[in-house]
């Protein structure tokens, strides 16, 4: 295992209500005890819980992020939307952009690029999600898709930008299926190198997402190129989340 900072990003998706706040108490306690470790734990609850989460974790070393933002940086006549400025105002420091569940709803690369730019303008760190579908994988198009998503999504993004790339094979999200170790290692290294060469972003963190849980975390941790994890389903359980982080440092 490397000595680099490792990210553990909890993506709650459309789950959680005000009562769920209590359930993260053990994680807060755990994070306090792990202060000296090179861990960055970030909660991304739904918009409705951003403020209560902020109040709950503002004095801790846990970060806060949103799950998406609008591409307009400020305010505008966009019913139902939330801008990166609003997210920043609430005290969040991160935002997930380009998640496959949004791409599947029709979000395109240009919109993703504009969202990333608006988030960076508002000094948010971006968790930029990329990944191939199962049919693209079967057609051996994985690298082509990754290249295209990177080039279009990060078009015009400058060095020093706060970007974390989350490689999430779509077929691995919520399915319990993990990519084979060698494939995952190859794709993670490919992403890092491709971004370095073509976008000129150096030392970019590349994390993995898709069915991460306490039972498979040891396998995933054996792939040293991974800088952390984007965790969906398992992150609703404080016990599982703590287990994942703990096993990443034993």
Of 228 and 232, the one with the shorter C-beta distance to ligand PGA is 232
Burial class (CB in 10 A: 0-12, 13-18, 19+), 81: middle
Tell me the CB-side half-sphere exposure of residue 151, using CA atoms within 13 A.
9
Catalytic-residue membership of 168: yes
When the beta carbons of 40 and 85 are compared against ligand PGA, the nearer one is 40
Tokens of 20: 């769920």
| Closest to ligand PGA by CB, 73 or 100 | 100
Candidates 60-68, 131-139, 183-191, 230-238: pick the segment binding ligand PGA (CB under 6 A).
230-238
Work out which of 233, 237, 243, 247 binds ligand PGA, going by CB under 6 A.
233
Annotate each residue in 186-225 with x if it binds ligand PGA (CB under 6 A) or - if it does not, as one string. Answer: -----------------------xxxx-------------
The Cα–Cα gap between 225 and 207 comes to 9
Establish if 11 lies at the interface with ligand PGA (CB under 6 A).
yes
In the chain, beta strands by DSSP E: 6-11, 39-44, 63-66, 94-97, 125-130, 163-167, 205-209, 228-231
Shortest reach from residue 174's CB to ligand PGA, in Å:
4
Positive or negative: CA dihedral 173, 110, 156, 88: negative
Strand partners, 179: none
Marked catalytic residue, from 101, 107, 132, 168: 168
Q: Does residue 183 carry a catalytic annotation?
A: no
User: Binding ligand PGA by CB under 6 A: which of 164, 173, 195, 201?
Assistant: 173
Question: Is residue 130 within 8 Å of 168, Cβ to Cβ?
Answer: yes
3-state secondary structure of 144: helix
Q: How far is the CB of 193 from ligand PGA (least distance, A)?
A: 23
Asked if residues 9 and 44 have their Cβ atoms less than 8 Å apart, the reply is yes
Q: How far is the CB of 93 from ligand PGA (least distance, A)?
A: 18
How near is the Cβ of 240 to ligand PGA at its closest, in Å?
Answer: 10
Catalytic one of 99, 101, 132, 236: 99
**Binding string to ligand PGA for residues 134 to 163, with x set by CB under 6 A, is what?**
------------------------------
Residues 6+ apart with CB under 8 A from 59: none
Cβ at position 194, least distance to ligand PGA in Å: 21
- Expressed in angstroms, the distance from the first to the final Cα of the chain is 10
Residues engaged in binding ligand PGA (CB under 6 A):
11, 168, 173-174, 209-212, 230-234
Catalytic residues: 99, 168
């Amino acid at each position: 295992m490397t000595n680099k900072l490792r990210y553990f990003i909890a993506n709650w998706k459309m789950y959680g209500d005000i009562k769920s706040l209590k359930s993260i108490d053990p994680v807060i306690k755990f994070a306090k005890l792990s202060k000296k470790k090179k861990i960055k734990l970030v909660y991304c609850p739904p918009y409705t819980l951003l403020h209560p989460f902020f109040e709950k974790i503002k004095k801790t070393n846990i970060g806060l992020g949103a799950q998406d933002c609008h591409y307009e940086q400020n305010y505008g006549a966009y019913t139902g939307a939330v801008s990166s400025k609003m997210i920043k105002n609430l005290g969040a420091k991160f935002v997930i952009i380009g998640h496959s569940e949004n791409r599947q709803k029709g979000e395109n690369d240009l919109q993703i690029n504009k969202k990333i730019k608006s988030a960076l303008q508002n000094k948010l760190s971006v968790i930029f999600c990329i990944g191939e579908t199962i049919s693209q994988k079967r057609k051996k198009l994985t690298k082509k898709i990754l290249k295209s998503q990177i080039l279009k999504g990060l078009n015009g993004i400058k060095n020093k930008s706060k970007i974390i790339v989350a490689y999430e094979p779509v077929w691995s999200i919520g399915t319990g299926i993990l990519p084979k170790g060698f494939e995952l290692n190859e794709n993670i290294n490919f992403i890092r190198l491709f971004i370095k060469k073509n976008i000129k972003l150096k030392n970019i963190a590349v994390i993995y997402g898709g069915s991460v849980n306490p039972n498979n975390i040891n396998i995933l941790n054996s792939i040293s190129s991974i800088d952390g994890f984007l965790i969906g389903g398992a992150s609703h359980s404080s016990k599982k989340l703590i287990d994942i982080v703990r096993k990443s440092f034993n």
